[in-house]
């Protein structure tokens, strides 16, 4: 008959070591692992979302709203870089993001692949060009001409508008939406079609540019926050949060903060968030 050679004292010591190792791996007794809120955002669409290439820090209206949502849910905030060409793929990839934020227009094509919250902003496509050329680009018919160089960032609703409404224009695709406006100022393009909120914002930041009739855009569309199909966040707490934010002044304060000031200060709590690597 086999008999253990461990003494009671040695057995107790081994049991203590096993217990200590288990607690170290699991964390302190009673600790609840914090959930992570993964927010996909392009970081190239001021004043709604912008990623500083030097620091990796995010800022903008929808970045402030993401921070408020994370605080409401009591979850750790992680920004996940995406782009307009890859946005729908990233949202549809399980585990990549819980929600996408940053000036995303609701379209039938996107609704087939993802869910949306209630709208939080109404906007539409309008031209941005130099103040000298504004009289030339008042209508779609004026812009839809081979002699007009229309610059566009790929993958989003700006590109879709150009494809549908400006087939005769000379189209210049520029991949970096953060530097696209300098191309107009430098004479490399004539005009860009974008959402009125971006056109107005960029015109105030680029002397010499003007948003053409932003209060009467060519189209109208709602912006909302996008969620993967069957997301844990669909409906429920997120809809209640957004409904409250639209009525209690939370969204209005974020909007005013970025529209009325050229360089808003960093949001409180930014030092606690993370940015996922591309």
Q: What was the pLDDT predicted at 235?
A: 75
Q: What was the pLDDT predicted at 116?
A: 96
Give the pTM.
0.78
Asked if the domains at 36-122+221-275 and 125-211 fall in one CATH topology, the answer is yes
Q: Which CATH class is domain 125-211?
A: alpha beta
Dihedral over alpha carbons 213, 215, 216, 218 (to 10 degrees): 80
Q: Which CATH class is domain 36-122+221-275?
A: alpha beta
Q: What was the pLDDT predicted at 274?
A: 54
27-45 per-position pLDDT tens digit: 344 444 479 999 999 999 9
DSSP annotation string for 195-250: EHHHHHHHHHHSTTEEESSTTS-S--EEE--EEETT-TTSSHHHHHHHHHHHHSSH
Q: What was the pLDDT predicted at 236?
A: 87
pLDDT along the chain (278 residues), means of 10: 40 38 37 78 96 96 98 96 96 96 96 96 96 97 98 95 98 95 98 96 95 96 95 88 97 91 40 46
What are the residue ranges spanned by the domains of the chain? 36-122+221-275, 125-211
């Amino acid at each position: 008959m086999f008999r253990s050679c461990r003494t009671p004292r040695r057995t107790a010591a081994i049991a203590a070591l096993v217990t200590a190792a288990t607690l170290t791996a699991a964390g302190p007794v009673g600790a609840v692992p914090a959930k992570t809120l993964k927010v996909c955002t392009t970081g190239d669409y001021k004043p709604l979302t912008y990623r500083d290439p030097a620091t990796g820090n995010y800022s903008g209206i929808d970045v402030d709203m993401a921070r408020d949502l994370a605080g409401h849910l009591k979850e750790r905030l992680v920004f996940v870089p995406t782009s307009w060409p890859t946005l729908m793929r990233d949202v549809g990839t399980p585990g990549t993001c819980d929600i996408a934020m940053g000036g995303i227009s609701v379209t039938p094509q996107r609704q087939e692949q993802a869910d949306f919250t209630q709208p939080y902003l109404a906007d539409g496509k309008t031209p941005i060009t130099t103040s000298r050329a504004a009289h030339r680009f008042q209508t779609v018919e004026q812009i839809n001409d081979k002699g007009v160089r229309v610059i566009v960032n790929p993958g989003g609703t700006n590109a879709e508008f150009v494809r549908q409404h400006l087939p005769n224009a000379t189209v210049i695709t520029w991949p970096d939406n953060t530097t696209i406006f300098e191309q107009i100022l430098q004479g490399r393009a004539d005009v860009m079609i974008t959402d009125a909120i971006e056109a107005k914002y960029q015109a105030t930041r680029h002397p010499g540019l003007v948003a053409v009739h932003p209060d009467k855009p060519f189209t109208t569309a709602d912006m909302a926050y996008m969620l993967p199909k069957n997301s844990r966040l669909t409906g429920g707490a997120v809809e209640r949060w957004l409904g409250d934010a639209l009525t209690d002044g939370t969204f209005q304060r974020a909007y005013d903060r970025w529209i009325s000031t050229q360089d808003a200060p960093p949001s409180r709590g930014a030092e606690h968030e993370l940015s996922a690597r591309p």
